[in-house]
Structure 1
Amino acid sequence: VTLFCDTLEELQTLSAEIVNAAATEGVKMIGERVAAKAHYLSQHPGNQPKRVRASAVTNRNFADFAAFHRTQLGKPAALTPWGRVVTYLPTPEQSAYGFSYHEQGSPDKEPTSGHTLIMGRPGSGKSVLSAFLMTQARRAGARIFVFDYRLGMEMAVRANGGRYASLNAGQPTGLNPLWTETDARGTAWLSDWLATLLYRADKPLTPAQTNRIQEVVRQNAQATNPALRNWRDFASLFVSTDDGGDLHQRLLEWTEDGRYGWIFGQSLEDTFSLKGDVVGFDLTGILDSEADKERMAVLSYLFRRVEREIEDRRPTIIVIDEAWKALDNTYFAERLSNWLVTARKQNTVAVMMTQYASQLERTRTGKTIIEAVPTQILLPNIRAQPADYSMLNLTEKELDVLLNTGSNSRLALIRDDQGSIVVDADLSALGPNLTILGGMEKGEALVGADYRDRPDFWRLS
């Protein structure tokens, strides 16, 4: 114990107080005089041999001194399926946390699950954080597909050299599954998908109608003239079905002039391309549609197209904004669990964003998502209630971070297979690049409204 005092009297008084306090606890203190300078300097690195009164340290002493408390360091690159850490995030204790989407694994073995849920209220920065993480993942060679909402990630997609398109309700989409699903696996999927598409609760399909769908799908695949793979000609093949014209009438809704004709009926060749390292598409009009059948038709086929692309097992990230809207239908409720398993085996990570856990709780797929997602990134929300997080089974400390930290703190709670940790998700150090990742009006004000025509718009000079 080294004391610094202004006067000798003050030094003597304070020394006596310390000696008495130590004696109360059974500790004998010695006032050093001759070797005081050596004692003091021995505290500095490299001067340990200068100690005058060296004594042995018992195991109990060491246990008292070395608590081994430290912040998690995250997973090292060698223990991640992609062989590198996605990024490093600072912690409030000023250490570096190596973030990875995946559970602990190895680049030499089958990929572990990396499916991730990012949750935060509007304006909390979840889209910007997701854009930052996917951009960092490009260093691992990850391919990116973005199911976007309200153009939130368009600028980030384009800044990564990606392509971006919008699918709007009531306008031709360029999609046509009759054109693409013609091999053996494709016809099996198309038959199952059409049975769901044509289902009516008041009049379920009969076994004969289901068999007829399979027959016509095979005919479509075997057509020698690809121009016949359109929805009008496809519907005409059901005219002879012995069901009073029921199936034919249901198919007519999907032809060019039908109620849902804008989705598939106005395209012959499927012109919607998913080729490229970074591809994004805005689905606002689809996700906001009140017609569940429209959402199911578009989203299920887009997921099918992505499923085909990831068969090459290249590291891939699929970002789904407003996931509760995208996946809340019967089709996904029955298939999402298997789809997530398939995606994991194909070296693909699904990153799903939503505002509140209670939104997932009200959906048909919420439980599946929570059970299948090993990594959660939760942003504080002082407006939330403990009940809003009930399905996440948070601890009291985790709840305290989310409810009492403050929504503007830019902290984030990460939960994964190693436990939970609070990190500093403040990305303001990126400067103007943060504005580009955020896009929207602020992004356009920075780079100009014509940025879509300038691939290098993000290079600010």
Structure 2
Amino acid sequence: EVPWKDPITVFPTPEGSGYQFSFHRKLSRGNVDAEPPAGHTLILGPSGGGKSVLIAFLIAQAQRMNARVFAFDYRRGLEVPLRALGAEYSEITANRPTGLNPLWSETDPEGQQWLSEWITALIERAERPLTAQQSQFLQDAIRRNAEAPQGLRHWSQFASLFAPLDDDGDLESRIREWAPSGRYGWIFGGNREDTFSLNGDLVGFDLTSVLDNGNDKERAARAMQDRRPTIIVVDEAWRALDTDYFADKLQGWLVTLRKLNCVVLLVTQFATQIANSKAGASILQGVQTQILLPNDDASAQDFAALNLNAKELTIMLETPPGKRVALVRDDQGSVLLDTDLTDLGQLLMSIGNSTAGRAALAAPDYDPEFWRALK
């Protein structure tokens, strides 16, 4: 038995047999109601090697299990397939309002605690840590914000709460960088309410042009209390892990999200990008499943963090370019799968980031059924 009742899909092996793929390991019979085992998955592959197509296919297949999907995209690589599946998709662009205002939405005790940690991470610097007095004043200001009417829970009002603090205006000036007139004001400062929506079964965000601020992923993590099967895709995961705040948070989230029936897919090109990030070693230990695509431009060192055996390493380095196979590994072993999806025919155009698909989406009033006409 598998935690989500059925396998995600069935892939052929090079020998012609069928392999039932699941993000999770199988449960013992009679134990199907147990807390789900971790299904977090690392997906590695070169640029142009088929990662996005494979991820889109797995997302589409997971809809049979009524899985919810949050995709944190990079360079809009998943936009075409997500929109073809009916997703809400937003591009968060520098210097354009985002709709994010966590001061408006995070008012319960858990939200206040998170705001304290998160705002500290935003404004603190190694050479300028907050003093004990400033940290206490920040917590008091967050509490006062939570008690204020909704119309006063915004960054301009929040910044004004720090004026009485006797620190030569230091903390207030740091907060005002995120208020409307500050250099980061476009991210949160211009939003009197929080209109950033996580509603829907499929939600995608392109974050290419903004620094990873963690708020979007924290919101996704808090949207899963219903324990519905959920997939979070973090494309170019090394960029998120290069942020100290998110790297620290992710270790805890991998445990918490497992209990909430959620699978995190960390996507990147090289294992070293994860291993060399802060907390990379522990994060790799928390990812039980690996889907590895061959990369003839890579070296053995690029895979060193994964401890591949000689046969697995040969597959990764010597498989001819263009041959669509994937090595799936977990703590029970590894298997080589045939991931050539050309038999999907025209439908392959809608799960790949095709030129035709991007052109269709560029139209001011594109047809939501655009994928039917892709050739």
The two structures have a TM-score, normalised by structure 2, of 0.96
| Partner residue in 1 for 2:59 | 134
Matched, 1:400 2:322: no
* C-alpha distance in structure 2 between counterparts of 1:243 and 1:136, whole Å: 56
Of 356, 366, 374 in structure 2, the residue corresponding to residue 453 of structure 1 is 366
| Partner residue in 2 for 1:239 | 163
1:186-265 to structure 2, matched below 5 A, reads 186-223=111-148, 225-265=149-189
CA contact (8 A) 1:343 1:349 kept: yes
Q: 1:451 to 1:170 in 2, by over 3 A?
A: closer
Of 65, 73, 96 in structure 1, the residue corresponding to residue 18 of structure 2 is 96
1:165-189, Cα deviation, whole Å (9 max, x unpaired):
1001122111001011001111111
Matched, 1:163 2:101: no
Q: 1:103 to 1:248 in 2, by over 3 A?
A: same
Amino acid at match of 1:90: P
Matched, 1:424 2:338: yes
CA contact (8 A) 2:325 2:336 kept: yes
Quote how far apart the aligned CAs of 1:303 are: 1.1
Give the secondary-structure state (helix, strand or coil) at the position aligned to 1:280.
Answer: strand
| Partner residue in 1 for 2:298 | 384
* C-alpha distance in structure 1 between counterparts of 2:254 and 2:236, whole Å: 17
* C-alpha distance in structure 1 between counterparts of 2:95 and 2:358, whole Å: 27
| Partner residue in 2 for 1:361 | 275
Give the secondary-structure state (helix, strand or coil) at the position aligned to 2:197.
Answer: coil
Quote how far apart the aligned CAs of 1:256 are: 0.1
* C-alpha distance in structure 2 between counterparts of 1:375 and 1:452, whole Å: 40
CA contact (8 A) 1:158 1:452 kept: no
Amino acid at match of 1:345: K
Amino acid at match of 1:301: N
Matched, 1:111 2:36: yes
1:327-365, Cα deviation, whole Å (9 max, x unpaired):
211112322211110111110000111011122232114
Matched, 1:84 2:9: no
Quote how far apart the aligned CAs of 1:460 are: 4.3
Give the secondary-structure state (helix, strand or coil) at the position aligned to 1:304.
Answer: helix
Could you list the runs of 5+ residues in structure 2 that have no partner in the other structure? none
Amino acid at match of 2:204: G
Give the secondary-structure state (helix, strand or coil) at the position aligned to 2:371.
Answer: coil
CA contact (8 A) 2:326 2:339 kept: yes
Give the secondary-structure state (helix, strand or coil) at the position aligned to 1:311.
Answer: coil
Quote how far apart the aligned CAs of 1:155 are: 1.2
Amino acid at match of 1:397: K
Quote how far apart the aligned CAs of 1:265 are: 0.3
* C-alpha distance in structure 2 between counterparts of 1:359 and 1:214, whole Å: 35
Q: 1:385 to 1:140 in 2, by over 3 A?
A: same
| Partner residue in 1 for 2:197 | 273
Q: RMSD of aligned C-alpha atoms?
A: 1.5
Amino acid at match of 1:194: I
CA contact (8 A) 2:36 2:259 kept: yes
Give the secondary-structure state (helix, strand or coil) at the position aligned to 1:431.
Answer: helix
Aligned-pair identity (%): 51
Quote how far apart the aligned CAs of 1:451 are: 9.1
The two structures have a TM-score, normalised by structure 1, of 0.78
Amino acid at match of 1:96: G
* C-alpha distance in structure 1 between counterparts of 2:373 and 2:140, whole Å: 58
* C-alpha distance in structure 1 between counterparts of 2:262 and 2:236, whole Å: 19
Give the secondary-structure state (helix, strand or coil) at the position aligned to 1:453.
Answer: coil
Of 215, 235, 238 in structure 2, the residue corresponding to residue 321 of structure 1 is 235
1:305-344 to structure 2, matched below 5 A, reads 305-344=219-258
Structure showing greater Rg: 1
Moved over 3 A (4+): 447-452
Give the secondary-structure state (helix, strand or coil) at the position aligned to 2:43.
Answer: strand
1:279-338, Cα deviation, whole Å (9 max, x unpaired):
00111112xxxxxxx42x2xx101111011111111000011100012211112322211
Amino acid at match of 1:120: G
* C-alpha distance in structure 2 between counterparts of 1:120 and 1:199, whole Å: 35
Q: 1:448 to 1:272 in 2, by over 3 A?
A: closer
* C-alpha distance in structure 1 between counterparts of 2:247 and 2:354, whole Å: 32
Give the secondary-structure state (helix, strand or coil) at the position aligned to 1:376.
Answer: strand
* C-alpha distance in structure 2 between counterparts of 1:361 and 1:193, whole Å: 24
* C-alpha distance in structure 1 between counterparts of 2:115 and 2:126, whole Å: 20
What is the total number of aligned residue pairs between the two structures? Answer: 371
1:94-118, Cα deviation, whole Å (9 max, x unpaired):
0000000112235411011010111
* C-alpha distance in structure 2 between counterparts of 1:365 and 1:159, whole Å: 36
* C-alpha distance in structure 1 between counterparts of 2:129 and 2:20, whole Å: 52
* C-alpha distance in structure 1 between counterparts of 2:2 and 2:15, whole Å: 24
* Structure showing greater relative contact order (alpha-carbon pairs closer than 8 Å, 6 or more residues apart): 2
| Partner residue in 2 for 1:40 | none
* C-alpha distance in structure 2 between counterparts of 1:91 and 1:192, whole Å: 47
CA contact (8 A) 1:115 1:372 kept: yes
* C-alpha distance in structure 1 between counterparts of 2:151 and 2:302, whole Å: 52
